[in-house]
A and B are shown apart, each in its own frame.
Chain A
Amino acid sequence: MQSSALVVNGLTKKYQDFVLDNVSFSVPSGTIVGLIGENGAGKSTTINAILGLINKDSGTIELLGKPDSAFDGDLRNQIGVVFDGSNYPDALSAKKLNSVFKNIYSAWDENRFFSLLQEMSLPADKKIKDFSKGMKMKLSIAVAFSHNSKLLVLDEATSGLDPVVRDDILDMFLEFVQDESNSILVSSHITSDLEKVADYIVFIHKGKVVFCKSKDELRYKYGIIRCGAAQFDAIDKDEVIAYRKQDYEWELLVADRDAAQRKYPKAVVDPATIDEIMLLYVKGEAK
């Protein structure tokens, strides 16, 4: 049985104007799990609760086989975290950051850090304030990779980056999970990135988990029926997850596109992208 690097069960956090409601999912070891959802859906709240940045109201979180109540010392050494944007003081350089982290992480690998800097073309002596956004993000990732992390937690780590830098970073993620004891939880609203690297997709909407499925199931089984009004009326809505009217056609999301194609041979049934699935869940209607 595949073990899990992260298990979130019934996570709840209440704010005045928002509730993260009974969120449950897991990150199996050796996999990349993508957390998707629109802005304000609860992705960052979920990640903040997992990392102990906010106190949860209820639920349990298990990190690398240990409950989150034991989330300090050894456990934190094994978890690499990357937040959106730069989170290191601008006055420091990568070299100084190395000295700081050498005194914080017990497993800090100085050689690995400097070789990653070189690999990513990041200057060691330049102040962080002179780095571009992409360079700052790469630096955060270099730090996360330099203390023998077993689990990476990344909150919008690729947002605001150009496609070339994003591609480099995604390749690093894929390389990281080549070791099957390593895992990644990455939140992003750039679903194309997740389509490239994620093994599982967790979709959060209005603080609730809508689905938690393997990416292959979404890519190879889910589909969108595109049809006119007459055909739309003829389709059994019990088989449809969500639907919405576009300018000239109806779009209907189905969980089994082959079955839909067999049942409605005259209809156009296209594979669904994660973006389309997300949009239909958020903007579409359900029976």
Chain B
Amino acid sequence: MKGLLLKDYYLIRSILYIILVVFAVIGIGMSFLTSTWVLTVIATVMLGMISVTTINMDKSSGWRKVSAVLPVSKAAFVDSKYVLYLLLSGIGLLLGIILSAIVSMFRGQLDYNFMLLFISISIAMALLSGSMTIPFAFLFSEEKSMLGLIIAYPLSALVFVGAALLIDNELIACSLVAIAGMVLYTASWIISRKRIANRDVN
């Protein structure tokens, strides 16, 4: 799996500057419009999404076919994308926290409750959407897998709204959604290993 992740690392490095520009534009804009801590959500989701992008890149380059004949198990290919998603989301979360904390300190608005709230929102958003977008990218063509991206984020937001309506405490509600995200992500991983790994590769 190390080799597969290394290949993805090279791929990501080649598109990193685009991601950084998009992150800077959206991040700065959103942090002015809402809260500085929204940067953690944007960074977590954006970096995690790159893992999904690499699945589509593998399909269009033909690497998907090559990877199926390499001396790695079929499940390892699926695993590598789920692991990469977690790694990138984790890096995004960390990056978001650092950036948001620095900006908040400069503004004199460092609120730990707010920080925890946005961290749980970031984790929940990343895991909920990842549990849908990764299998979508594996199963469908590049165009159709975009549908997964379009559905995943509003659906994740809907879960938040539902939790917020049911539970008064925002932090508890978000934490529960984050736990639900972890459960869903794990379930998605297990199902993908069993179903996607054994599908025909054309």
Pick from A30-38, A85-93, A209-217, A230-238 the stretch touching chain B. A85-93
B65 part of interface (Cβ distance < 8 Å):
yes
How many residues belonging to A are interface residues under a CB distance threshold of 8 Å?
32
Q: A103 contacts B3, CB within 8 Å? A: yes
Which size class do B's interface residues fall under? 20 to 34
Chain B, range 6-58, C-beta contacts under 8 Å to A: 6-7, 10-11, 14-15, 57-58
Known: A53-B200, A53-B202. A89 touches B7 (CB 8 A): yes
A55 part of interface (Cβ distance < 8 Å):
yes
Chain A, range 89-126, C-beta contacts under 8 Å to B: 89-92, 96, 99-106
Chain B residues with CB under 8 A of A72: 71, 73
Pick from A76-84, A251-259, A266-274 the stretch touching chain B. A76-84
Chain A residues with CB under 8 A of B198: 55
A74 part of interface (Cβ distance < 8 Å):
yes
Nearest A-chain residue to B68, judged by Cβ:
A53
Q: How far is the CA of A90 from the CA of B58 in the complex (A)?
A: 10
Q: A53 contacts B201, CB within 8 Å? A: yes
Q: A99 contacts B6, CB within 8 Å? A: yes
Q: A83 contacts B3, CB within 8 Å? A: no
A60 part of interface (Cβ distance < 8 Å):
no
Chain B residues with CB under 8 A of A79: 69
Q: How far is the CA of A103 from the CA of B69 in the complex (A)?
A: 15
Q: A92 contacts B200, CB within 8 Å? A: no
Q: A73 contacts B10, CB within 8 Å? A: no
Chain B residues with CB under 8 A of A51: 68-69
A54 part of interface (Cβ distance < 8 Å):
yes
Contact pick for A100, options B3, B57, B65, B200, CB 8 Å: B3
B113 part of interface (Cβ distance < 8 Å):
no
Chain B residues with CB under 8 A of A55: 198, 200
Known: A85-B62, A87-B61, A89-B57. A54 touches B201 (CB 8 A): yes
A52 part of interface (Cβ distance < 8 Å):
yes
| Binary CB contact string for chain A from 168 to 204 against chain B (1 if under 8 A, 0 otherwise) | 0000000000000000000000000000000000000
Chain B residues with CB under 8 A of A106: 71
Nearest B-chain residue to A99, judged by Cβ:
B6
Q: A104 contacts B72, CB within 8 Å? A: yes
Chain A residues with CB under 8 A of B10: 89, 91-92, 96, 100
Q: A87 contacts B63, CB within 8 Å? A: yes
Q: A73 contacts B66, CB within 8 Å? A: no
Nearest B-chain residue to A107, judged by Cβ:
B71
B70 part of interface (Cβ distance < 8 Å):
yes
- The interface of chain B, by Cβ under 8 A from chain A, is 2-4, 6-7, 10-11, 14-15, 57-58, 61-63, 65-66, 68-73, 198, 200-202
A-B contacts, 7 of them at CB < 8 A, read A48-B202, A52-B69, A76-B70, A83-B62, A89-B10, A92-B10, A100-B10
Q: What are the nearest 9 A-B pairs in CB distance?
A: A87-B62, A103-B3, A104-B3, A91-B14, A76-B71, A54-B200, A53-B201, A103-B2, A87-B66
